[in-house]
Structure 1
Amino acid sequence: LLQAIAAAEVVWADETPVRVLDVKKTRQGYLWTFLTQTPAGEWLLGYRFSLGRAGTTPKEVLGGTRGALVVDAYTGYNAVTLPEGRVRVGCWAHVRRRFFEALPGAPEAREALDFILSLYRVEAEARKAGVVRTNAHRELRQKKSAPVLAALGTWLEEQTPRHLPKGPLGQALSYARKQWDALTRFVSDERLPLDNNRSEGALRKAALGRKNFLFVGHEAAGENLAGLYALVATCEANGVNPEAYLADVLLRVQTHPNARIGELLPHEWKRLRAADAS
């Protein structure tokens, strides 16, 4: 599943902490998610567990691949982005969150929120018109989103000298300016989203898990957890009953040719079942 995701042109990624049981205490581990959407519209969600947050995990999954990587500003993804790897695409949801948090002490942050709202309204217009990820979508962005970005860029430059760098608004301004190239790439490529909310949503299962089971028992347990999360999440994303899928695949996998193991991934399994039914 991770190999299929790594072969895609556009990949979303994110990570979240998970506690791992150690001798008489717990230590910090991380659950990473990597996901993509196929040309047929199917969502593939992969997970990887690690004991550290360094760029080793992104490099193991996406190293040597080309395309776009939609992430936040975390430097751990630098190992697989420019100049030798994927093109980094920024997240406007993260930018908006910082300006929203600065709003109580800096009312002028509302202007940034209004600019960002305008960007999302263009995307809503594209969805309503049914032109998402088409040439018409790119043209709409260049016509309506590009002027918004130009105005926002000017506003960022004007506001930066007026605020303390360590203040909430100063930090929000700095974050947006440092990420500007990555944040504006979506205008020229209709395949790119405005944010990586998809990957954040894919990690909500881990957040629920932290409340239910508190920690994983050891590294191998974390790896098993990541594998089960990946299969179940990909089932849910493609309208496949996880129980029916696992009940069938756990039997088939014992005799299925390893060279064709991809046929047992949830989205492929759904296609085969539909073909058999017809």
Structure 2
Amino acid sequence: MNLLNALTQIHAPASLVEEAERIMAQVMSQALQLSQQTQQLSCKEQQLHLLELNIQKLAHELARYKRLQFGSKAEAFDAEQRQLFEDDTTQDIAAVETELAAAAPTETTPPSRPRKKRPALPAHLKRTDVIHDLARCTCDQCDGQLVKIGEDFTEQLDVEPARFSVIRHIYPQYACRQCETLSAEPAIPSVIDSWLASPSVLAWIVVSKYLDHLPLYRLESMAERNGVPLPRSTMSEWIGRLGVSLQPLYDRLVERLKQQASLHADETPVQQLDPGKGKTKRAYLWAYRSNDLAGTAPIVVFDYQTSRSGQHVAAFLADWQGTLMVDDYAGYKSLFREGVAEQACWAHARRKFYDLHKDLNHPVAAEALTRISRLYAIEAEGRELTIEERHRLRQQRSQPELDALLKWLADLTPTPGTGLYRAVEYVRRREAAFSRYAETGDLPIDNNPVENAIRPVALGKKNWLFAGSERAGRRAAVLQTLLGTARLNGVEPMAWLKDVLEKLPIWPNARIDELLPLRPPVS
């Protein structure tokens, strides 16, 4: 019952009714304020939750950047970069040992170190014998004649830096007095119209620039130290002509690559000079790699493009159908709508959990790493098996481990926006793509082969900094494709390119496969 109505019915004094009205108004006002405070508190709690998530995200990123700069470089550095520090440590140890030996008293014999067994020098290297014979063949004690009973020898590795020489091509000319004609051997054909450089010099320039990442000005300086004028402009002209001459080999490698049923793909940014603006702009070097588990000769093909648009990969792989191993970049998605099968990289998934575990010591991330490592351990066991044997191994052991891992991830309920949520969702969204490798015996588990193929180019960018033009970028892609494929096949790039440049001018196009830097198939 309403209190005011009750007071009115019993004819309560007016002062009492007014006091009741005042008290009721205060209660209603306090109730309204309490409701507003409750709403504000709820809003504050939501804001606090969002702030906590943001703080956790920033703490994760900060810990990761600190680890990359100051901590262990197991994931941040590749093998080549880690070796730089390992080399420094070895050099420091040797230097300290030398200084200690020099500082020791002359009468004190330094403790002998166990002698390391050094590997024999390669048998294919040319040997030059230097005989250190006695000055006299008579005995120092009795002056009798010495008789040779054997010999001892040691071997030292020797090297000759780039040494220039001149090859003179002499073409004797003969005349027939009877019919008054001249005869001579025709000039040997050259891949470019220049008699100044032999195939060896051309191969040295290309390998130095595109495989060893030495800028042309350094090659010019190296030649100058040997008294040879070799201007950058001249070398640049030769490279431009060689790029055109070697284009058919690149095109054939692209054709051979597209005959594969499964491929790796990745891309890396490069800088391209933008003369109109006086600065550089971003371009991309796309990389496509054959699948090592397919049993064919490995091939890597680079494709230079001015952007990261998915239309470039769609154009390169036009009419190709197969399984494509890629990261989660949206540029590849159009291919999967056209019938290409998507395969996801477990190394990428592992990296997300690794960062979370390393930065925040997250127990769920540690468990994920343990489960993923079991998948890799099975792959290590099956590395040398045939495709059929590997398929059986995966069905018996990989598939159950994979199913258990995916179910475990599906049961997790991480808070949206956290690092764990992003790591888990990365796998959940592409569960079929992550499972595809275990259904076969010839698909890889990760995208590391193409990342390893890109790595030398990424390291080289620190030397050559940017491409001078789009055409220069495409030419670099051609030459890096040929040299990179040669390295994958265990073919010595310098010797291969020299041989190709000697043969190419008169080589029939029908036999172009014989010039490709591919190892012969295993019989």
What is the match of residue 222 of structure 1? Answer: 473
1:4-23 counterparts in 2 under 5 A?
4-23=256-275
1:100 aligns with 2:354: yes
User: How far did residue 263 of structure 1 move?
Assistant: 2.8
Contact 1:91/1:195 (8 A) holds in 2:
yes
Q: Does 1:152 align with 2:408?
A: no
Number of the residue aligned with 1:184: 435
1:34-45 to 2 correspondences below 5 Å: 34-37=288-291, 40-45=295-300
Structure with higher RCO (Cα < 8 A, 6+ apart) = 1
Distance 1:40 1:191, change over 3 A: closer
Question: What SS is found at the alignment partner of 1:43?
Answer: coil
Which deviates the most, 53-62 or 233-242?
53-62
What is the distance in 1 between the residues matched to 2:500 and 2:335? 33
Query: Are the equivalent residues in 1 in contact too, given 2:291–2:444 (CA < 8 A)?
Result: no
Opposite residue 391 of structure 2, the aligned amino acid is R
1:111: which partner in 2? 367
Question: Which residue is equivalent to 2:425?
Answer: 174
Alignment correspondent of 2:392 = 139
Given the alignment, which residue of 374, 377, 381 partners 1:121? Answer: 377
Secondary structure at the counterpart of residue 263 of structure 1: helix
Instruction: Tell me the residue number matched to 2:89.
Output: none
- Please point out which of 504, 507, 510 is paired with 1:253: 504
| In structure 2, distance between residues paired with 1:45 and 1:223 | 15
Letter in 1 for 2:397: K
Task: State the distance in 1 between where 2:329 and 2:317 align.
Answer: 16
Deviation at 1:210, TM superposition (A): 1.3
Cα displacement (A) at 1:99: 0.7
Q: CA deviation at 1:258?
A: 3.0
Give the superposition deviation at 1:107: 2.3
Report how far residue 271 of structure 1 moved: 4.4
Whole-angstrom CA distance in 1 between matches of 2:302 and 2:501: 19
**Distance in structure 2 (CA, Å) of the matches to 1:246 and 1:78:** 37
2:281 maps to amino acid: R
Deviations 1:205-256 (A, max 9, x none): 2211211111110101110111111111111111111111111212322222
* Alpha-carbon distance between aligned partners in 2 of 1:63 and 1:165, rounded to the nearest angstrom: 38
Equivalenced residue count is: 264
**SS of 2:363 mapped into structure 1:** coil
Q: 1:238 aligns with which of 469, 478, 489?
A: 489
Residues 64 and 85 in structure 1, CA contact (< 8 A), matched pair in contact too: no
Do the aligned residues in 1 keep the contact of 2:264 with 2:291 (CA within 8 Å)? no
Structure 1 pair 41–153 and aligned structure 2 pair: CA distance change class (3 A):
same
**Contact 1:12-1:196 within 8 A present in 2 as well:** yes
What is the alpha-carbon distance in structure 1 between the residues aligned to residue 348 and residue 467 of structure 2? 29
AA matched with 1:69: L
Whole-Å separation in 2 of the counterparts to 1:91 and 1:178: 13
Aligned-pair identity (%): 39
For structure 1, the 5+ residue unaligned runs are: 273-278
Deviates more, 1:10-19 or 1:53-62: 53-62
Worse-superposed segment, 58-67 or 207-216 = 58-67
Q: Distance in 2 between matches of 1:94 and 1:49?
A: 24
Distance 1:108 1:57 in 2: 39
Alignment-mate amino acid for residue 194 of structure 1: I
SS in 2 for 1:49: strand
Q: How far off its partner does 1:26 sit?
A: 0.7
Question: Secondary structure at the residue paired with 1:131?
Answer: coil
Structure 1 residues 112-152: Cα deviation after superposition (integer angstroms, max 9, x where no partner): 1111001001111213xx314x2221111111111111211
Correspondence for 1:212 = 463
Contact in 2 for aligned 1:45/1:233 (Cα 8 Å): yes
Describe the superposition over 1:3-44 as per-residue Cα deviations: whole angstroms up to 9, x where unpaired: 111111111111000011113111101111111147554111
Q: Is the 8 A contact 1:3 1:61 kept in 2?
A: no
Partner of 1:276: none
Post-superposition shift, 1:177? 0.5
Conserved? CA contact 1:58–1:79, under 8 Å = no
**Over alpha carbons, which structure has the higher Rg?**
2
Q: Structure 1 residue 197: deviation in Å? A: 0.2
Between the aligned partners of 1:37 and 1:120, the Cα distance in structure 2 is 17
| Structure 2 residue matching 1:172: 3-state secondary structure | helix
Q: Amino acid of the residue matched to residue 453 of structure 2?
A: A
1:87, distance to aligned residue in structure 2 (A): 0.9
- Verify: 1:79 aligned to 2:334, yes or no: yes
Q: CA deviation at 1:73?
A: 1.2
